[in-house]
Amino acid sequence: MNTGGPDAGGHPRAEPGFAARYVEAARPKTLPAAAAPVLLGTAMALSDDAFHGLAAALALLAAVSIQIATNFHNDVADFEKGADRQDRSGPRRMVAAGLISPRAMRRAVHVAMGCAVLFGSWLMWRGGWPVVAVGAASIASALAYTGGKRSLAYLGIADLFVLIFFGPVAVAGTHYVQTLVFSPAAVIVGLGPGLLSMAILLVNNIRDRHEDQAAGKRTLVVRVGREGGIRLFRACLAAALSIPVLAGMLSLAPWTVLIALLASPQAWSLHRALVRAPVSDPRSLNPLLGRTARLLLVYCILFSVGYVI
């Protein structure tokens, strides 16, 4: 069975075990994008004296399950559409590397989606039709990300859905299942993690621009080019860092949320690294994916601390 080629040192990679293949396919470095906005929504509920531990825990498990299902589905769908090959610039994909069959990966998608529905069932009972609607829309968007003939990623509109579902929907939804009250403030605050999640996707698509273009995957970066993608990345960082200031000015949050601005040096360090990355070596952007995910997590932790202190 193919091991996906040599490692960074040029040595053959050891074939991972059964469980390790699915862990790698789940792309653990991307999971903060699902967990961080749940943390922020929970902090907002705590600030409103409406924290609900079970609802918060189930919201986290459902969000992470949907993200894993999306990653599994992306693995098999991109392989079947020719966007993922063994010599891809990004981290190896299990189906493309021959380590998981397409059929087995599709079963894994169903299992992950089933877990999301299982974790979300009590939340739907507690929150009623708004939670049912959000859950159904989240699952549909996850499957539409790379699935079907007119998938979101191939049409170049996935960035907008990432902004919405990993931002306002996740934060306001987490706040709602605990408080049972819709919060416009949570929608505005949720733009912060949504913008940083979009920044993660931009790094991924800047790296894969040529491969995506060759496969007919018309991502936003393919449409606007590398420099346009870098400008969008910078705009996402700047806009996310402005959200705590805006929330304070509009009295949507205590001024202590400005502690989130301590993430600014980390953000601009990422921007410099992206600008300086050699165009001829797309693989040099791989570490930036994990670093941008860590920025999102740090930002949400700081923002959350600002709500509860």
Is it the case that residue 187 has pLDDT exceeding 90? yes
Mean pLDDT for the stretch of residues 166-182? 96
CATH code at 21-308: 1.10.600
What pLDDT does residue 164 have? 94
Mean pLDDT for the stretch of residues 276-288? 89
| pLDDT above 90 as % of the chain | 65
What pLDDT does residue 234 have? 97
Q: Would you place residue 146 in the very low, low, confident or very high pLDDT band (cuts 50, 70, 90)?
A: low
Is it the case that residue 76 has pLDDT exceeding 50? yes
Nearest to 123 by CA among 39, 179, 187: 179
Q: Would you place residue 171 in the very low, low, confident or very high pLDDT band (cuts 50, 70, 90)?
A: very high
Angular region, 2: left φ>0, alpha ψ -120 to 50, beta rest: beta
Nearest to 22 by CA among 118, 119, 95: 95
- Tokens representing 170? 């996740």
Residue showing tokens 């860092």: 241
What pLDDT does residue 158 have? 85
Q: What is the mean pLDDT of the chain?
A: 89
* Range from 7-16, 68-77, 247-256 that averages highest in pLDDT: 247-256
Q: Would you place residue 211 in the very low, low, confident or very high pLDDT band (cuts 50, 70, 90)?
A: confident
- Least confident range from 5-14, 76-85, 184-193, 208-217: namely 5-14
Is it the case that residue 108 has pLDDT exceeding 60? yes
Is it the case that residue 9 has pLDDT exceeding 50? no
Q: Which amino acid is at 282?
A: P
Q: Assess contact for 173 and 59: CB atoms under 8 A.
A: yes
Q: Would you place residue 189 in the very low, low, confident or very high pLDDT band (cuts 50, 70, 90)?
A: very high
Question: How far are the Cα atoms of 40, 194, 224, 237, 274 from residue 221, in angstroms, in the given order?
Answer: 29, 18, 5, 16, 14
Is it the case that residue 230 has pLDDT exceeding 80? yes
Is it the case that residue 5 has pLDDT exceeding 70? no
Question: How far are the Cα atoms of 186, 285, 289 from residue 206, in angstroms, in the given order?
Answer: 30, 8, 11
